[in-house]
């Protein structure tokens, strides 16, 4: 499989709303290390100002220099939105601090569409605070799924937020990559949904939830993907008639 990462540490030095997030760099590099060990191929691994808002907006997401639709798997680590509290119509945002491709704020529900031709993205891993709020998941995330298989993120508030830690992304990689040889079973290898339930709850505040979501032609297909789909299953793209998601709250 081919993967990309986008990690944004520098918000203040580039004149964006801060604060800086130093752990994002360790997070994306750790993710790359595990995925490379498992034999996956990096497409782009941009950091800081080289991660652009347009990479996540439909249209710009096929940019050959770093769009999120180039690989099958993408991890974004940076700031996101966190309302206090969100409601059903609250938007979800990723926030970057790009040298180009502005604006830096991406409204997921209205601007992001993944898996639509010619895009390749199957798994979107978001570690950016709260941009997968349960209360507004229909408005913000159902429209996003074109041929996307699964997405992971967090639901929370200002007081129930994710902390800047490398451990969620790094451990997600270790548990989903499919390690070589006997390491493939000596260390737990999990479905995307199960792995995120275990690692998405690391270093988050009480009340924050790890969320994993899948699409399918039928309800049972969406549930089966949510529970069992691994990145290496090579499953066909889903028809997004149904959505199934699950969450664990810290």
Partner 1 sequence: MPAKPTAQGHLARLESSELRAEASRIAGFKLRKPEFGSAANISGLRDATFVFSRRLDCRTLFAADSRYGPQRKLGAWTGADKSAISTCRRILRAAGVPSAEIAKLDVVVERGRSAERVSENEFKLLEPYVLRKIVRATRAVDGIPVWKSYASLGLTGRGAVGSLEVHWPELPRSAVKEASVLQTLVKRGFKPPDIPGARLESLQAGIVHSSAIGFYMDVVAAVRAIYIGERPEVGRKPMHYFNRHGVAIAMPRDIAPRAPVDTAPRAAPKKPS
Give the helix/strand (H/E) hosting 225. helix 219-228
Question: Does 104 help bind partner 1 (rule: CB under 8 A)?
Answer: no
Binders of partner 1 in range 13-42 (CB under 8 A): 17-23, 26, 29-30, 32-34, 36-37, 42
Burial of 82 per CB tally in 10 Å (0-12, 13-18, 19+): buried
CB 233 within 8 A of CB 190: no
Chosen residue from 175, 178, 229, 230 binding partner 1 by CB under 8 A: 175
Distance separating alpha carbons of residues 157 and 129, to the nearest angstrom: 9
Angle at 192 between CA 187 and CA 197, to 5 degrees: 85
Question: Does 81 help bind partner 1 (rule: CB under 8 A)?
Answer: yes
Binders of partner 1 in range 120-149 (CB under 8 A): 127-130, 138, 142-143
Question: Does 59 help bind partner 1 (rule: CB under 8 A)?
Answer: no
Distance separating alpha carbons of residues 211 and 194, to the nearest angstrom: 10
Total residues contacting partner 1 by CB under 8 A comes to 91
Question: Does 119 help bind partner 1 (rule: CB under 8 A)?
Answer: no
As measured in angstroms, the least distance from the Cβ of 121 to partner 1 is 19
As measured in angstroms, the least distance from the Cβ of 30 to partner 1 is 7
Q: How far is CA 169 from CA 37, 81, 193, 223, in A?
A: 15, 18, 14, 23
Question: x/- site string to partner 1, residues 182 to 211, per CB under 8 A?
Answer: xx-xxxx-----x--xx--x-x-x------
Q: Is 161 helix (H, G, I), strand (E, B) or coil?
A: coil
Binders of partner 1 in range 215-244 (CB under 8 A): 219, 222-224, 226-228, 240-244
């Amino acid at each position: 499989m081919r993967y990309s990462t986008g990690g944004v540490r520098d918000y203040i030095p580039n004149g964006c709303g801060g604060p800086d997030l130093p752990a994002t760099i360790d997070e994306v590099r750790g993710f790359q290390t595990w995925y490379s060990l498992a034999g996956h191929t990096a497409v782009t691994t941009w950091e800081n100002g080289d991660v652009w808002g347009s990479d996540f907006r439909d249209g710009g997401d096929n940019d050959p220099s770093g769009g999120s639709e180039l690989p099958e798997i993408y991890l974004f680590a940076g700031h996101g939105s966190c309302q206090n509290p969100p409601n059903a119509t609250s938007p979800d945002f990723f926030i970057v601090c790009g040298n180009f491709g502005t604006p830096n704020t991406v409204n997921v529900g209205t601007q992001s569409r993944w898996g639509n031709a010619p895009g390749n993205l199957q798994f979107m891993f978001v570690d950016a605070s709260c941009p997968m709020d349960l209360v507004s998941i229909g408005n913000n995330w159902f429209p996003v799924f074109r041929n996307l298989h699964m997405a992971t993120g967090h639901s929370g508030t200002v007081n129930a937020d994710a902390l800047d830690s490398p451990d969620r992304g790094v451990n997600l990689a270790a548990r989903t990559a499919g390690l070589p040889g006997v390491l493939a079973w000596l260390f737990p290898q999990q479905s995307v949904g199960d792995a995120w339930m275990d690692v998405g709850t690391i270093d988050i505040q009480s009340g924050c939830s790890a969320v994993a979501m899948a699409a399918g032609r039928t309800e049972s297909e969406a549930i089966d993907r949510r529970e069992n789909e691994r990145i290496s299953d090579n499953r066909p793209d889903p028809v997004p008639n149904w959505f199934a998601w699950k969450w664990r709250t810290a």
